[in-house]
Chain A
């Protein structure tokens, strides 16, 4: 098992966002985390990654058992973890190649510069962004930034990749190509992927299993197929909401015509 979360509890101040979240992620599985706004999807990612301090729970991360909110995520785990943030989060003062080389310079300082350069070029090639080698993030479009950030996330050949809304703000064609890229990387790098997304097309294209969160609790932990046909009203409503818009009767204004 790549990741196992048990009874994770998290919140901000007095507000509890996640209550007793438990789920597992298998090798090479693409796990989609779903839920409405404020259901705690991003909080869950941040707590697993140790970016926020959880209240309670246990996380078994790549074989390392951690007490959530107490044990810091060790570097041995960090180097096997890639993260793709919503906006890419490339360092704006570095060029694309410097951004991608950054994890190498920190975790593999012994590597000679020409080897690092070659590795960066290879990572950029994997995401079809070699042309942006010398560019600054400000010179890239939203989709290009995410591809470059993906190259940075995979440069250390991680075993697990976290993606926070990778399709957000992208046009449908770019979003689909990013999905294809994730599937390809799963095949070539044998990655497990945990992804937060609201794009129904993406969910159908890449999701193996769904973790549906509602009011800080797991409402469903099942395969994509079962999730799509779930009879739970909140889940079926959610899929209806994120599907391309059709007329619904909710909030109709009833005028009295005469």
Chain B
């Protein structure tokens, strides 16, 4: 089969006969007649190389006939770039994939417990070992992770407290039981909504920021650099954040629960016409010291979950900028799941 090539073999003209040349090369010799050719661009060169390789594979001959001398020289200097075989690193079947997933989860949990034990040790007994403890920056982290989150936590809890109180008030009023609004709002705020929502908001805000920061440092080899300088990354990066979150989350949770109750007070006053004094008296009966302590303990554990998941996701990141994004997403998903799971366990234990 003979095909006459146009004046220019380029990205415009190659598609016109690429398919027919391939088809022909399956069964016979192909002659590309190039007496009219004056120029060949990168697409044209790639086409000729590809066709030549295809001819070799199919045992046929590709002949370039009457090509100008200049183009002959140009084509003679071409080198074929060999595309390497793609490595198959994925898991082949379901049991293998499940096993790998279980192993990953186990490994993640192990890392988190290691971080937890190190953080607790260096926050308590390890503080005596001044020669080995190299830590600073807790105050800065307290400001970044806790104080800076106050606004968003207060606004959201206030709005949720307001909505919840209003809907409860409407139902309670039907039964003439509006007076119980304070107890209902107070208990739900301190027992459930305050700790849970504060933790969820902080997981999205502070947890993701911890992961993004640490993961970026890992990707840029900054963590390796710290280690080569004899700086323990756990003391330098995790410990300040762990301590800051251990203080910030309970404090914010308490303040947020109070804010939620304040929203209830406003609803009671404006909608149910219950005086603030009566509301506070009823609130005091429902919100006792054990409830507040349970609330603080829960929020402390939630804070640890957020920090440990965030640090684990940050430290185990592999790859480039896209891996930082995935690690951040994964941190938010896993910390919120962990918080909800822990909350369910607390409900069994406490109530």
In the complex, whether B67 has a CB less than 8 A from a CB of chain A is yes
- A87 vs B222: C-alpha distance in the bound complex, in angstroms? 9
Output the least CB separation between A119 and chain B (Å): 15
Do residues B222 and A257 form an inter-chain contact, with CB atoms below 8 A? no
Contact between A106 and B220 (Cβ–Cβ < 8 Å)?
Answer: no
CB of B159, distance to nearest CB on chain A (Å): 33
A86, B228: Cβ atoms closer than 8 Å: no
Q: How far is the CA of A81 from the CA of B231 in the complex (A)?
A: 13
Interface majority SS (helix, strand, loop, mixed), chain B: mixed
Give the chain B neighbours of A256 by CB distance below 8 A: 61-64
Interface string of B75-86 (1 = CB under 8 A from A): 111111110000
User: Are the CB atoms of B217 and A78 closer together than 8 Å?
Assistant: no
Is B224 a contact partner of A102 (Cβ separation < 8 A)? Answer: no
- In the bound complex, do residue A81 and residue B48 qualify as a contact, i.e. CB atoms below 8 Å apart? no
Considering only CB atoms and an 8 Å cut-off, how many residues of chain A contact the other chain?
Answer: 34
Determine if B43 is an interface residue (Cβ-Cβ < 8 Å).
no
A51-B224, A89-B222, A253-B80 are contacts. A258–B75 as well, Cβ < 8 Å? no
Contacts of A50 in B (CB 8 A): 227
Q: Indicate if the CB atoms of B48 and A106 lie closer than 8 Å.
A: no
What are the interface flags for A224-254 relative to B under an 8 Å C-beta threshold, 1 for contact and 0 otherwise? 0000000000000000000000011011111
Is the pair B52, A253 in contact by a Cβ cutoff of 8 Å?
yes
In the bound complex, how far is the Cα of B229 from the Cα of A69, in angstroms?
19
Are A251 and B230 in touch, CB under 8 angstroms?
Answer: no
Q: Which of B43-80 contact A (CB under 8 A)?
A: 48-49, 52-53, 61-67, 72, 75-80
Q: Chain A residues with Cβ under 8 A from B227's Cβ?
A: 49-51
Q: Which residues of A contact B67 (CB under 8 A)?
A: 257
Q: Can you name the residue of chain B whose Cβ is closest to the Cβ of A248? A: B79
Q: CB < 8 Å: which of B48, B134, B220, B221 contacts A255?
A: B48
Q: Are A49 and B228 in contact (CB under 8 A)?
A: yes
The smallest C-beta distance from A182 to any residue of chain B, in angstroms, reads 17
- Check: A196 CB closer than 8 A to any chain B CB: no
Q: Is the CB of B66 within 8 A of A255?
A: no
Question: B231 contacts A102, CB within 8 Å?
Answer: yes
B146-176 interface (Cβ within 8 A of A): none
CA distance A103 to B231 in the complex (A): 8
Is B98 located at the chain interface by the 8 A CB criterion? Answer: no
* Interchain CB contact under 8 A, B220 and A87: yes
User: A92 interface residue, CB < 8 Å from B?
Assistant: yes
A75 within 8 Å of B by Cβ? yes
CB-contact partner of A92 in B49, B61, B77, B216, under 8 A: B216
Q: Which single member of A91, A102, A103, A253 contacts B79 (CB below 8 Å)?
A: A253
A251 engages B222 (CB within 8 Å): no
Task: Decide: A252 and B79 in contact? CB cutoff 8 A.
Answer: yes
Is residue B225 within 8 Å, beta carbon to beta carbon, of the partner chain? yes
The answer on a CB contact under 8 Å between B79 and A251 is yes
Q: Does A204 contact B (CB under 8 A)?
A: no
| Those of B94-114 within 8 Å (CB) of chain A | none
Q: Which residues of chain B have C-beta atoms less than 8 A from A51's C-beta? A: 224, 227-228
Q: Are A83 and B225 in contact (CB under 8 A)?
A: yes
B226 proximity list for chain A (CB < 8 A)? 91
For B78, what are the chain A residues with a Cβ–Cβ distance below 8 Å?
252-253
- Chain B CB within 10 Å, residue with most, of A49, A252, A257: A257
B: which residues have CB within 8 A of A?
Answer: 31, 48-49, 52-53, 61-67, 72, 75-82, 134, 216-217, 220-222, 224-231
The 3 closest A-B pairs by CB, nearest first: A78-B230, A89-B225, A83-B228
